[in-house]
Structure 1
Amino acid sequence: MSSTRRRFIMGATGAAALIGAGLWRTGLLASPRDEPLRPLQVPPLMDARRQGNALALQVQRGQTEFFRGARSATMGYNGSYLGPTLRVHRGDDVQVAITNALGEDTTVHWHGLLVPGHLDGGPHQNIAPGASWRPVLPVRQPAATLFYHSHVHGRTAEQVYAGLAGVLIVADDQEARLNLPSEYGIDDLPLVIQDRWFENGRMLLPNGMMTLMHGRRGNTLLVNGTPDAQARVPARLVRLRFVNGSNARTYALAFDDGRPMHWIASEAGLLAAPVAMGSLSLAPGERAEVLVDFSDARRATLVTAPDPNAPMMMGGPMSRLRPDGVGREPVLAFEPIGPSENSVALPTRLVAHAAPDPSRATRRRRFNLDMPMGAMMGMGRMMRGAGPGGSTGTFGINGRAFDMRRVDERVRLGDTEVWEVSGDMMAHPFHIHGTHFRVLSRGGAAPMLRDQGLRDTVMVGEPVELLMQFTQEAAKAPFMYHCHILEHEDNGMMGQFGTA
């Protein structure tokens, strides 16, 4: 057993003891009533080309009825919860007008989009209440499923939890020629998977020491904001675009009848060829595209195994979902409809990729995501908040908590580097803005199957080597790198780099 795994188990055991001691809000153990399956909500599509490459988003508060007769206070883009799917096209320049009607500061980060630092939507691109931000986004990257969400300093976790997130799709001609399923909302589905906490049908915001230590977790799974969801799909090959929009939960997705998923795209775009998988892991901030064959016209349910990163007692009786005999929870039911057909064939090849060449790297840097055991003693200070420009100082990277006024690293535009990243106490989803990378090694050995492809987010615990190239300037505003457990990010586990 690795030392990282041992540290995580020790931390989880301590978490369970704290829950047993009553430090968790025992009132939250009440489960909402059982509900019948309900139609999956599919976010409306805003295609930039159809709108003259001009998109408009309003960030707003709202009331959302997740369960009949119970309304929850939420946030959304152009609606009460989540936002529309934005589709942009490679080679275009897209103007986005974002108006902040929240009554508090916010930002909109284009997670996975390669744009200069001052257009990235991180903490430095703050949008004050009543103000607007009008970036023009140059889209110069291959087709991919991306993610947009709040990244406001110190409030990212709460705003994303409340609903400030959406799907961003990049399309291009090369992908179009592959004849992949592409009828939006029919055989091409965006699926934002989230866990949220409900009591008596209303969504609550968990707080307390355990929330800050392990991230906000819920007793109810939502897909596109829909609990107990069911999707009607054609009885043929269907494309699913998974987005992990949870604050902290990692999923291990599979189908209850054992049918395979053919993984076709990582965070930054298509793989070289489809990869048949019985189960696919998805950490916070990660995306994955898969093809699933429903031509047998049989119903199937997407399920998830328990989160190995969760503290003990976080599942089971604390979940409103009834797990099956092996502890898996239902995520989304599928009902194939119409005649069985195979009009879209599973491709054998996708896009060619050059092999990664670490010999081109001009520098190696090391990063450790710090989560010391002493953090438990500092939770009171964490809940009292951060000092000006910085965080609480409990979590950090390389011994330093995030500070908006400090640029931690300087890189040269055009350079290739190797970053070695490791984590304390538990596995951490590590996200880097402004660049894509390839995983060279994990724990001193070859990468896992799931590590392949171009990435912007990757799970780290044992040391993971990343080969990255810097193509986007960050002279006017820096890029972030951070843990994508959003409570860790908000409380110091973040750094920033600029370009020289």
Structure 2
Amino acid sequence: MNRRTFLSLAALSGTAGTAGLAAGCGSGTRQHHPEPPPPLDLSNPLRIPPLLDPAREPDGVRRYELIMFAGQSELLPGKPTATWGFNGSYLGPTLRASRGDQVAMTVRNALPEASTVHWHGMRLPAAMDGGPHQLIASGGQWTPSWTVDQPAATTWYHPHPHGATAKHIYRGLAGLFIVDDGLDTELPAAYGTDDIPLILQDKKLTDRGRLDGDPLKGPFGILGDRILINGTYNPRFTVTTARVRLRLLNASNARMYHLAFTDRRRFHLVGTDGGLLPAPVETDTLDLTPGERAEILVGFTPGDNVVLRSLDRGLDIAMGDLDLIRFVAGDQLAPAPALPATLPAPPPIVPPAGARVRHFTLSGRDSINGRPMDMKRIDEVVPVSAVEIWEVENSTGTSHNFHIHEVAFQVLDAADRPTGGHKDTVFTPAHTTVRLAVQFGPFSDPVEPYMYHCHLLRHEDGGMMGQFVTVVPGTENTVPRSYAGVGHAH
């Protein structure tokens, strides 16, 4: 993105941003409450986010530019909505990089307030993580860089300002970040053709198409009745191949999706948050809580016309049957490679004998281990490259989930949850304890912290979050338990 483009987008944000603040969610202005949404025919062509996949420059670095700005989108046809986006008025481009790449980001903030960009699922130093300490002032920019060193995975990026994450994501700031490692050669890989991103979000919209509801009120903030896929309402995707790879991201504030096809066709789960599984797992349903990702392979035959739905799970964050997207197959489909018997999964995470065990209790909507988030307090100190057992107890009668920055973990045991596969976010149902084998990265920094938190955004913003630093083994007791850094954005 050149300077002229940046300045024109910034100028647009100066006008549209004001409209967004006046008409956006939770603004306190008079709202026109909507009628119940009409039945869907799932006829609008699915928008595919543009791919941002820059070539390596002569110095070997791949450079990406993102601008956060306020604009307008038609979330409902013919009804303009004040929204926020990256390099566009809603959502952001799909970033792509390969293992071993040196990547350099320029993130410009043309919003009317400070924000951050967190690389959710990336293994990288804390100073580059984009948590709440790396605030980018309105009109400012941030230039993190790192070397991509992790297995192939579907990660994503989104804002993480403390107390405002729910609002910023709800207004539209989110995008996928695909990591390749050259090993998954037997899986569909033509982006937008047989390798399809599906960013799932629920919204509340007024009858004028404006974002409605307050992301910070009530037990969960937002549980909307209008579903967007890649920002498309009432979407349809035209299938042209006999097998399709769907990269699913739950980018909703609180809603859990219990996914199934209306004909209950079976499909194969091939990847979770942190990479591929050892082998495809056949199933006919899949659960995703906010922040989680999954990769599935779905087979189609000529003339297929089938809907992917979210079924009522009987849970507080997964109520109601909701149509999501229709898949329509043509009369002729390009052949697909055979389903692989095995996949190049990352090695299993195995805690050593005597591994450190840490216990975290999620209580209410605003604390972990009885303490709400404090930006100046370091809660845990972990030696770099450690493998620990984290026990996450949900002591409440409502659903939560749990996300840890930078790490990969495997679920050792969990109520109502399959095990296996590398993850970074996990569902924690009411009155249950989830045990995780957590693998920490090699990045030592006694000052800049990573976060762990509930990824139901109303809970995260309310204080259900903590901070940890990773340090050279043997120095844990020398690390101050208060944050003294100044962040790395400006």
TM-score range, shorter chain: 0.7 to 0.9
Cα RMSD for the two superposed structures: 2.0
Instruction: Tell me the distance in 1 between the aligned counterparts of 2:145 and 2:353.
Output: 32
Aligned-pair distance for 1:186?
Answer: 0.6
Aligned-pair distance for 1:328?
Answer: 2.7
> Within the alignment, does 1:141 sit opposite 2:150 as a pair?
yes
Instruction: Tell me the distance in 2 between the aligned counterparts of 1:276 and 1:56.
Output: 39
Aligned-pair distance for 1:112?
Answer: 0.2
Partner of 1:367: 360
- Closer, same or farther in 2 for the Cα pair 1:115/1:352, shift >3 Å? closer
Instruction: Tell me the distance in 1 between the aligned counterparts of 2:191 and 2:273.
Output: 19
Partner of 2:400: 428
Partner of 1:195: 202
Aligned counterpart for 1:479 among listed residues 435, 438, 450:
450
Structure 2, unpaired ranges of 5+:
1-29, 472-490
* TM-score, L = length of structure 1: 0.83
Please say if residues 350 and 387 of structure 2, whose CA atoms lie closer than 8 Å, have aligned partners that are also in contact: no
Aligned counterpart for 1:179 among listed residues 183, 186, 196:
186
Instruction: Tell me the distance in 2 between the aligned counterparts of 1:179 and 1:362.
Output: 37
Aligned-pair distance for 1:26?
Answer: 11
Partner of 1:456: 424
Please say if residues 62 and 75 of structure 1, whose CA atoms lie closer than 8 Å, have aligned partners that are also in contact: yes
Partner of 1:332: 325
Aligned counterpart for 1:297 among listed residues 290, 295, 303:
303
Aligned-pair distance for 1:200?
Answer: 1.1
Cα displacement string for residues 307-357 of structure 1 (whole angstroms, at most 9, x for unaligned residues): 54437xx96xxxxxxxxxxx6321010111251343321111102554443
Please say if residues 49 and 88 of structure 1, whose CA atoms lie closer than 8 Å, have aligned partners that are also in contact: no
Deviates more, 1:340-349 or 1:129-138: 340-349
Please say if residues 117 and 475 of structure 1, whose CA atoms lie closer than 8 Å, have aligned partners that are also in contact: no
| SS at 1:102 equivalent | coil
Partner of 1:71: 80
Instruction: Tell me the distance in 2 between the aligned counterparts of 1:56 and 1:353.
Output: 30
Partner of 1:347: 340
Aligned counterpart for 2:387 among listed residues 394, 416, 435:
416
Instruction: Tell me the distance in 1 between the aligned counterparts of 2:411 and 2:391.
Output: 10
Instruction: Tell me the distance in 1 between the aligned counterparts of 2:45 and 2:326.
Output: 10
Instruction: Tell me the distance in 1 between the aligned counterparts of 2:45 and 2:354.
Output: 49
Instruction: Tell me the distance in 2 between the aligned counterparts of 1:148 and 1:417.
Output: 26
- Closer, same or farther in 2 for the Cα pair 1:421/1:74, shift >3 Å? same
Please say if residues 94 and 175 of structure 2, whose CA atoms lie closer than 8 Å, have aligned partners that are also in contact: yes
The letter for the 2-side match of 1:155 is A
Please say if residues 195 and 245 of structure 2, whose CA atoms lie closer than 8 Å, have aligned partners that are also in contact: yes
Aligned-pair distance for 1:295?
Answer: 2.8
Aligned-pair distance for 1:228?
Answer: 0.4
Instruction: Tell me the distance in 1 between the aligned counterparts of 2:76 and 2:97.
Output: 33
> Within the alignment, does 1:465 sit opposite 2:397 as a pair?
no
Partner of 2:230: 224
More helix by share: 1
Please say if residues 83 and 171 of structure 2, whose CA atoms lie closer than 8 Å, have aligned partners that are also in contact: yes
Partner of 2:4: none
Cα displacement string for residues 344-375 of structure 1 (whole angstroms, at most 9, x for unaligned residues): 2111110255444333453111001111xxxx
Partner of 1:21: none
Partner of 1:498: 469
| SS at 2:196 equivalent | strand
Cα displacement string for residues 418-472 of structure 1 (whole angstroms, at most 9, x for unaligned residues): 00001122221100001110111125xxx842x3200000011311111112213
Cα displacement string for residues 121-159 of structure 1 (whole angstroms, at most 9, x for unaligned residues): 110111001111011121000110001001011100000
Instruction: Tell me the distance in 2 between the aligned counterparts of 1:35 and 1:299.
Output: 15
Correspondence list, 1:64-463, <5 A: 64-175=73-184, 178-207=185-214, 211-310=217-316, 328-337=321-330, 339-360=332-353, 362-371=355-364, 395-423=366-394, 424-443=396-415, 448-449=417-418, 451-461=419-429, 462-463=432-433
Instruction: Tell me the distance in 2 between the aligned counterparts of 1:136 and 1:219.
Output: 39
| SS at 2:282 equivalent | strand
How many positions carry a matched residue from both structures?
434
Instruction: Tell me the distance in 2 between the aligned counterparts of 1:343 and 1:255.
Output: 20
* TM-score, L = length of structure 2: 0.85
Please say if residues 276 and 346 of structure 2, whose CA atoms lie closer than 8 Å, have aligned partners that are also in contact: no
- Closer, same or farther in 2 for the Cα pair 1:477/1:128, shift >3 Å? same
Instruction: Tell me the distance in 1 between the aligned counterparts of 2:390 and 2:160.
Output: 23
Instruction: Tell me the distance in 2 between the aligned counterparts of 1:48 and 1:360.
Output: 44
Please say if residues 234 and 337 of structure 1, whose CA atoms lie closer than 8 Å, have aligned partners that are also in contact: yes
Aligned-pair distance for 1:212?
Answer: 3.6
Partner of 2:10: none
| SS at 1:158 equivalent | helix
Structure 1, unpaired ranges of 5+:
1-24, 316-326, 372-393
Aligned-pair distance for 1:66?
Answer: 1.6
Instruction: Tell me the distance in 2 between the aligned counterparts of 1:43 and 1:352.
Output: 27
